[in-house]
Amino acid sequence: MARPTPLLSLELQSPANSNPLARSRGRSSEEDDEDSPAKGFVHYIPLCLLVLLTLAPHPSLLIMLVNYHLKTLNSPLRFGIHLLVTYTLTFCVFSSVIVCVARDPGPVAERQEDDGGMDLTEALMVADRHDDLSAPGKFCRRCWAPKPERAHHCSICGRCVLKMDHHCVWLASKCIGHRTYPAFVHFLCSVTLLALYIAVISGSALLFAFNNPMAIDITTPVHELFLSFAGVVFSLVIGSFLLYHIYLISTNQTTLENLSPFLLLRYLPPLGTSTNGNSEPLDEDRMSHGQRRAVRDAHQQIRLYDVGWRRNWTQIFGWNQKYGWIYRLWCGGGGKGDGRTFPRNPCSDEMLARLAAELIRLDKNV
């Protein structure tokens, strides 16, 4: 006799095909898939343009090196040194680009190794494995999953990223996070050094051409002028961006944390009962003008994760192996640690408490 089909089945499919927390909020798996749009060819156009801009100066560079250092100065040693330095820096540029594009910036969700289902109790108790998910910033209401410290949800990628710094359209429209941020800074440093080096050697060759117009052919100074201009422009543009990230590393901030002062609201202690009778955490949309100004002023002083510039740099570019610095020089690599927990500035709790007291005072004066 055939076994009757049960009217209600408590068997759940694998987490990849079913999200019990999303279903409890009325979200289907098809809606979850829509939050993570597939990348098309358009997303790779800026990356192709980046590669083209990196390779564009090299024909003029070779013409300048051959005509000036080999034919005019008759110096094979200088020619070999300049060739070695420029192509070593070019190799560093592309190696860090490959790491940023090919590596996941920082997966938040832990993947299930097996394809088997999980029972109802395990599915309903997923959130209980994490502490204080009701606190602001501890749970992502778009991924419907716990969100570790300093992780953020990228609306373009449709996912949360560990220690997300920013979303970069130039690197195949991918986020820069915990596992790719050192490679990104390595990329900025390599491009700046390459552009600056090309500007210096091209500028010196161009100066020689002006002082000795009959010693070199007529087309080489045009290449030298193009290389000098491009080198100066890229050095200023990318170099300014590099200096900004050097400041962020020295103060242990991400781009999002530096540009978003209201992220401090996630870390404030309980504010108690306000004048309207509720004790919910402050929301940016419900803050008064005075409270907003107080948060912005406090943001200039509170560095939650600043533990000294040496330890800050060690968190990004530290290594555990004996010759780990070679890997850092080659492509930058990934961040040190698990990307989920970070040491706090010992003075941050006191400063946050003072900010919370000031916000309560301003709330009562409204």
What does each C-alpha distance from 294 to 255, 290, 302 come to in angstroms? 21, 6, 12
Which of 168, 175, 189, 331 is flagged as catalytic? 168
Q: Can you point out the beta strands (E) in 87-240?
A: 139-140, 145-146, 152-154, 159-161, 166-168, 174-176
For residue 88, is it within any domain? Answer: yes
Q: Which residue has better confidence, 137 or 306?
A: 306
User: What DSSP character marks residue 43?
Assistant: G
Beta-carbon contacts of 294 under 8 Å, excluding residues fewer than 6 positions away, are: 355, 358, 359, 362
Check if the beta carbon of residue 99 is closer than 8 Å to that of residue 180.
yes
Predicted confidence at residue 365, as pLDDT, reads: 72
For residue 338, is it within any domain? Answer: no
| Whether residue 203 has pLDDT greater than 50 | yes
Distance from chain centroid for Cα 199: 28
Mean pLDDT, the chain, integer: 82
For residue 313, is it within any domain? Answer: no
User: What DSSP character marks residue 69?
Assistant: I
Taking alpha carbons only, the member of 58, 286, 258, 96 closest to residue 179 is: 96
Taking alpha carbons only, the member of 233, 195, 190 closest to residue 99 is: 190
Q: Which domain holds residue 45?
A: 40-107+129-253
DSSP H/E element including 133: none
* Opening angle at CA 210, ends 204 and 214, nearest 5: 115
For residue 6, is it within any domain? Answer: no
Tokens 């170099």 sit on residue: 239
For residue 18, is it within any domain? Answer: no
Counts for the chain of helices (H) and strands (E), in that order: 13, 6
Number of domains, the chain? 1
SS3 percent helix, strand, coil of the chain, rounded to 5, is 55, 5, 40
pTM, rounded to two decimals: 0.82
Check if the beta carbon of residue 190 is closer than 8 Å to that of residue 330.
no
Q: Measure the CA–CA gap between 20 and 120, rounded to whole angstroms.
A: 9
Two tokens at 176?
């820069």
In this prediction, residue 315 has a pLDDT band, given cuts at 50, 70 and 90, of: very high
Taking alpha carbons only, the member of 169, 187, 167, 186 closest to residue 177 is: 167
For residue 345, is it within any domain? Answer: no
Q: Measure the CA–CA gap between 228 and 203, rounded to whole angstroms.
A: 6
Q: Is 157 a catalytic residue?
A: no
Overall average pLDDT of the 254-280 stretch: 75
Share of the chain above pLDDT 90, in %: 57
| Whether residue 133 has pLDDT greater than 90 | no
Share of the chain above pLDDT 70, in %: 78
Taking alpha carbons only, the member of 299, 298, 291, 286 closest to residue 361 is: 291
Give backbone dihedrals phi and psi of 348, rounded to 5 degrees, phi first. -70, -35
- Amino acid found at 216: I
User: Which of 31-35, 48-52, 113-117 has the highest average model confidence (pLDDT)?
Assistant: 48-52
Q: Which long-range contacts (CB under 8 A, 24 or more apart) does 258-265 make?
A: 261/295, 261/296, 261/298, 261/299, 262/292, 262/295, 263/137, 264/295, 264/298, 264/299, 264/302, 264/304, 264/352, 264/355, 265/136, 265/295
For residue 265, is it within any domain? Answer: no
In this prediction, residue 202 has a pLDDT band, given cuts at 50, 70 and 90, of: very high
